[in-house]
Structure 1
Amino acid sequence: MTQRLFRFGLVGAGARDGREWAALARRGEDLGFATLLTADTVATPAPAASLAAAAAVTTSLRVGTFVVNTATRPANAVAWEAASLAFVTGDRFELGIGAGRPGGEGDAAVLGVPYGSGAERLAQVERVLDAVEHPAEGLYGGTGGTPHVLVAASRPRMLALAARRAGTVAFGVPPLTGEDGLAELVGVVRDAAGERFDELELCTSVHVVGDEIPGWLRGRMGVDAADLASSGSIAMLTGTPREMAGTLSRRRDELGVSYVTVPAPFAEAFAPVVELLAGR
């Protein structure tokens, strides 16, 4: 297996205004994060506007969706926005897509579009990938190549699709998933990808840095720190920065995971790990 270099993403949320969002983008770049990522929910600013603003105040930081809920968008609309973001960011945009998320039905209802069954949403992801790779006649396709595509997945059919067509596979797993559980999912991707497995970048999310879950995150996780620790959850990193770096290095060596995202509130706590590993 080809060993990829580490890179790290900062998942931004909760900025009170545009000035605070711009400051986060600049700080993330200064700390060595490779990407600033934003969610796609009707309760947060639209991804295209947020990411264009972040790219405008930085020079090397890449920006991306994490992830677009393709169930709420026509395929050509996603392709149009992706090409436009690649243009305005100087090809620093990465398109992250998925087939939905918890609560996605509510977003669809607000936007006045059908959400669809699991099979229908999976088919929509395929249509989006087709539209991004081969824009429809008359649709703006940008001035560069196809944006780098990340597909978030947790179930076999979606993992297999991601393995065949994505540049990055992001594992969307329950909070208590340990390394054994992650290894099973990596195995699914490896089998489905075949010879292209070495070309794939594998991504996991660390939701907690340190020994305690902050109050703002506790309700979202649905578990406490003791639960995460006892399960050996991949969503939690503890110890010194060097110990955390060691855990991630071993995980890369054993499972191939080289792209790691963390929530923006942990940017400073995680920065020493980024300094130890980014680009190595």
Structure 2
Amino acid sequence: MTDLRTWRDRVRRIADFGYSTLLMPDVPTWQPAVGPTLATAAALTDLRVGSWVYAAALREPWSTAWEAHSLSVLTEGRFEMGIGAGRPGIEVELGQPAVPMAERRTRMRETVAALRTFDGSELHTPVVMAVSGPKSQALALEVADAVTFVLSADDDRAETTKRVRDFAGRGDIELAQHVAAVGDRVAPFMAPPSLDTAALRAADSLVILPDDPAAAAEEIERRRAEIGLTYFVIGADFAETLAPMVAKLAGRQ
């Protein structure tokens, strides 16, 4: 984020390109807080908005659930709560006490439970859970509406396909995918800038898409057909590059 006017213009352009949802990371001091920023974005456009993702290592369940519920109310149901354990060491980097993984999962469960209580019978805030190992996957099957898998740079297509299919066979849940690189560019916030895009292509990794919109659309369709992935997240810096892909997939071309 540079200045507020530039950011507002970018939000409007993303909506005009045909994207469905605007997401933002949960890293204090990197950008303004998630709640007010997403509420502002939702007021500017008709986009859905969401956290990608609330970091349980940094957050207490009750207050996080109340923020998520409030965003659902303020956006008239256009908010989705992404939540995950948080990357290793994030709390220590920010001067907070270390939080064990088991405690992070407990916080995730308690956050979703509190959110369901706040929503009541009149509202259902979608929950997207970032998962890695079997314990977080089991939790997602219990409480989430969608999942995104935390993939390492060296996970190849065959390995990832098996992992996602094995999970998908256990429940009716939407499958999302975090795309960290497009062509030779890496998305800020989504991966380290040192990520080797040539190595990703050599491994046939799913965390990269071609920068040619037609080729990217073909690859998205392949992932839908072969793996069952239906929700794709890309960095905002790629929004204009891949706008023709979005138009094609949405039937606008």
Q: Same fold (TM over 0.5)?
A: yes
Is 1:278 aligned with 2:250? yes
Rounded to whole Å, the distance in 2 between the matches of 1:191 and 1:216 is 33
**Would you say the 8 A contact 1:108–1:115 is kept in 2?**
no
1:146 is paired with a residue whose SS is coil
Aligned residue for 1:57? 44
Task: Tell me by how many angstroms 1:115 deviates.
Answer: 3.7
Cα gap change, 1:76 to 1:239, in 2 (>3 Å): closer
Rounded to whole Å, the distance in 2 between the matches of 1:220 and 1:107 is 16
Pick closer, same or farther for the CA change 1:103–1:19 going to 2, 3 Å.
farther
In the alignment, does 2:125 pair up with 1:147? yes
CA drift at 1:98: 0.5
Q: List per-residue Cα deviations over 1:185-229 (Å, max 9, x = no partner).
A: 213423442xxx2xx21111222222x235968981543222111
Structure 2 residue 71 is the aligned partner of structure 1 residue 98: no
CA distance, structure 2, for counterparts of residue 234 and residue 99 of structure 1: 22
RMSD: 2.4
**Is it true that 1:245 corresponds to 2:245 in the alignment?**
no
- The equivalent of 2:158 in structure 1 is 180
Q: State the match for 1:167 in structure 2.
A: 145
Find 1:128's aligned residue among 104, 111, 116.
Answer: 111
Distance 1:108 1:272 in 2: 39
Gap runs ≥5 in structure 2: none
Partner of 1:205: 178
Deviation at 1:27, TM superposition (A): 0.9
2:52 is aligned to 66
- State the TM-score, normalized to the length of structure 1: 0.82
1:100-143 CA-to-partner distances (Å, cap 9, x unmatched) read: 1144223563xx5x4421111111111111111123xxxxx589
Given candidates 89, 96, 99, the residue that maps to 1:116 is: 99
Q: Could you tell me how far 1:232 is from its partner in structure 2?
A: 0.6
Question: What is the CA–CA distance in structure 1 between the aligned matches of 2:161 and 2:35, rounded to whole Å?
Answer: 34
- Mapped to 1, the partners of 2:189 and 2:53 lie a distance apart of 19
What secondary structure does 2:205 align onto? Answer: coil
Matched-pair identity in %: 36
Distance 1:121 1:26 in 2: 35
Answer whether contact 1:79 1:132 (CA < 8 A) is retained. Answer: yes
Higher relative contact order (CA 8 A, sep 6+): 1
Q: Judging changes above 3 Å, is the alpha-carbon distance between structure 1 residues 269 and 102 closer, same or farther for their aligned structure 2 residues?
A: farther
Runs (5+) with no aligned partner, structure 1: 1-14, 136-140
Q: Which residue of 1 aligns with 2:25?
A: 39
Number of the residue aligned with 1:85 = 71
Q: Quick one: structure 1 residues 190 and 94, their matched pair in 2 at CA, closer, same or farther if it must change by over 3 Å?
A: same
Does the 8 Å contact 1:218/1:224 carry over to 2? no
CA distance in 1, matches of 2:212, 2:124: 39
Inter-CA distance 189–74: structure 2 relative to 1 (3 Å threshold): same
**Within 2, Cα distance between the matches of 1:76 and 1:92?**
21
Size of the aligned set, in residue pairs, is 251
Deviation of 1:184 (Å): 2.7
Q: In 2, are the aligned partners of 1:67 and 1:96 still within 8 Å (CA)?
A: yes
State how far apart, in whole Å, the 1-side matches of 2:229 and 2:85 are.
Answer: 22
